[in-house]
A and B are shown apart, each in its own frame.
Chain A
Amino acid sequence: MMPDPSMSSWEPEIQPRQTLWQRLDSGLRHLLPSLFIALAIIVFSAPIPLPGSAELLPAIVIATVFFWSFWRPSGMPSLAVFVLGLFMDLVGFAPLGVSAFILLLVHGVAFYARFGLMRLHFLLVWAVFSLLATAACMLQWGLACLFRLHMLDMAPALFESFLCIGVYPPLSALFSWVFRMLDDEEDA
């Protein structure tokens, strides 16, 4: 039997050096979720009359961070989460660092529970996310109360958590479609 002349069958670890274009391509693939969040932050902070944009932005960001942290952590590293949270605080009017802290907590929970979560049905994942999102919104509200030193109205926090829960299924459908497209391209 003739040995296969291609290099990969001899030494699977040794591969030809990636070209500049390939490296740019894979880098962009890893940056895609972070770029999406950054774009969402810029769009929602723009002076465009979108209804409920103040509550919708954190909802989208939390759902995105959760989804990528447990399905593909390489696309959502901790450093990117920290930088995006800080950026959101700088653009918005929340106390500086609060969003970064909360997003890191969400990211950490999703990252460490991902092997358990991956085996669950979508509805169960959604339920877990709902609990996590509500906790995150409550924590944000609590921190805001703490820094202002008086009790704030709880309705916006509840509204934000409901938006979080509602925005998760469409976003996860969108990201699953993006996954499939990227995987198809890699296979091709």
Chain B
Amino acid sequence: MIPVSIQVRQALGKLVLPLLLLLSIGVIIGAQADKPLADRARMYVADALAPLWSLMSGTQEHVLTMTENLREAGRLARENARLKTENENLRRWYDVAVSLTRENDSLKTALHWIPEPAPAFVTGRVVADSGGIYARAVLLVAGTESGVQVGNVALAANGLAGRVTETGAHSARILLITDIASRLPVMLEASHAPAIMVGDNSPMPRLMYYAQDTRPIEGERVVTSDQAGAFPAGLPIGTVHYVSPGRPVVAPFAQLDHLTLLRVFNFGRAQIEPPEAPGHVPLTPQKKSLELPLKSLLGQG
């Protein structure tokens, strides 16, 4: 180190700040005069700091993922607790169901209950229907060779879909409950009151001809009725919904706008012959199909 006196050193110390101020002004002017140089200096610094920055953003992402994972674990714990309580509840209901089934069995035994025959059914794939006289009908790839007959009942996964109206050897046409030609006797499950479900080509068929003292209740289940002998009683159809006051409709359980598979049940209603009774007019299905001139014209083409 150069030996300088204390006075000189103090004077030099006082000069540092003004010199640096002048230098910074020089830097400002220089950077304004030569912008590419300043930009290059910036890029050098940024390049040198890039690893540090990437390290920091990586750490930040790690922290974010970890907090997210912790939050997810908390959610899972809550969900687990909820499922545990629900499981306990369901276990209770299972016990109730088992005891009710046993009671039902013992009551049936005591009453000498005649068991219903198990219905035969076939399952077929639905293919889109083009043509035909109905607006809401589907074609099923299962026909008379599989045992499908006219008048059989088609069920979707969770509710009634329609009835078989025409059969071929390998296909059957099913009239859906939403078609305008569909009129079914139904029963309102809460009041056991009869009504008629009338299709109108809309997704929700209307309810008509119900008794005025037992009006359908919003949300009530609608099941089939065995009046006229077309359906067995108690097949689930849908729930009552009021689109406007005094206009109840049925929201079907089956998703009728995109059916993929249908089960066709033969409940064997045709075999049930009522015993002869004086004055009884037998209710037989019309064997002769309706001859439409339009259909024969279409058939030629």
Q: Chain B residues near A95 (CB, 8 Å)?
A: 28, 31-32
Residue B23 at the chain A interface, CB threshold 8 Å: yes
Q: Is the CB of A87 within 8 A of B45?
A: yes
Contacts A79-B16, A87-B45 given; indicate if A101 touches B60 (C-beta within 8 A): no
Encode contact with B along A7-49: 1 for CB under 8 Å, 0 otherwise.
0000000000000000000000000000000000011011110
Contacts A43-B56, A47-B57, A48-B56 given; indicate if A86 touches B27 (C-beta within 8 A): yes
Q: Chain B residues near A104 (CB, 8 Å)?
A: 17, 20-21, 24
Residue A111 at the chain B interface, CB threshold 8 Å: yes
Residue of B nearest to A102 (CB): B24
Residue of A nearest to B25 (CB): A101
Q: Is the CB of A96 within 8 A of B16?
A: no
Ranked nearest first, the 6 interchain pairs of A and B with the lowest CB-CB distance are A96-B31, A97-B27, A97-B28, A101-B24, A100-B24, A90-B45
Q: Chain A residues near B45 (CB, 8 Å)?
A: 87, 90-91
Residue of B20, B26, B46, B57 near A91 (CB, 8 A) is B46
Residue B53 at the chain A interface, CB threshold 8 Å: yes
Residue B42 at the chain A interface, CB threshold 8 Å: yes
How many angstroms from the CA of A42 to the CA of B52 in the assembled complex? 8
Q: Is the CB of A96 within 8 A of B28?
A: yes
Residue B49 at the chain A interface, CB threshold 8 Å: yes
Residue A172 at the chain B interface, CB threshold 8 Å: no
Residue of A47, A96, A98, A101 near B41 (CB, 8 A) is A96
Q: Is the CB of A96 within 8 A of B60?
A: no
| A–B Cβ pairs within 8 angstroms, 28 of them | A42-B53, A43-B56, A45-B53, A46-B53, A46-B57, A47-B53, A48-B56, A48-B60, A77-B16, A78-B17, A81-B20, A82-B24, A86-B27, A87-B45, A90-B41, A91-B45, A91-B46, A95-B28, A95-B31, A96-B27, A96-B28, A96-B38, A96-B41, A97-B24, A97-B26, A97-B27, A98-B28, A101-B25
How many angstroms from the CA of A68 to the CA of B189 in the assembled complex? 85
> Main secondary structure on chain A at its contact with chain B?
helix
Q: Chain A residues near B49 (CB, 8 Å)?
A: 42, 45, 91
Contacts A47-B57, A91-B46 given; indicate if A97 touches B31 (C-beta within 8 A): yes
New A-B contacts (7) at CB < 8 Å, excluding given A46-B52, A147-B32: A45-B49, A87-B45, A95-B32, A96-B30, A101-B25, A104-B17, A111-B17
Residue count of chain A within 8 Å CB distance of chain B: 29
Residue of B17, B21, B30, B53 most packed against chain A (CB within 10 A): B17
Q: Chain A residues near B53 (CB, 8 Å)?
A: 42, 45-47
Residue of A47, A78, A97 near B25 (CB, 8 A) is A97
Contacts A95-B32, A96-B41 given; indicate if A101 touches B57 (C-beta within 8 A): no
Q: Chain B residues near A85 (CB, 8 Å)?
A: 24
Q: Is the CB of A100 within 8 A of B27?
A: yes
Residue of B16, B21, B24, B30 most packed against chain A (CB within 10 A): B24
Q: Chain B residues near A91 (CB, 8 Å)?
A: 42, 45-46, 49
Q: Chain B residues near A45 (CB, 8 Å)?
A: 49, 53
Contacts A42-B49, A46-B56, A48-B57 given; indicate if A79 touches B20 (C-beta within 8 A): yes
Residue of A nearest to B41 (CB): A90
Residue of B21, B25, B30, B42 near A90 (CB, 8 A) is B42
A75 smallest CB distance to B (angstroms): 16
Q: Chain B residues near A143 (CB, 8 Å)?
A: 28
Residue of A nearest to B42 (CB): A90
Within 8 A of B (CB), among A157-182: none
Residue of A46, A47, A78, A90 near B20 (CB, 8 A) is A78
Residue A142 at the chain B interface, CB threshold 8 Å: no
Q: Chain A residues near B46 (CB, 8 Å)?
A: 91
Within 8 A of B (CB), among A34-88: 42-43, 45-48, 77-79, 81-82, 85-87
How many angstroms from the CA of A97 to the CA of B37 in the assembled complex? 13
Residue A105 at the chain B interface, CB threshold 8 Å: yes
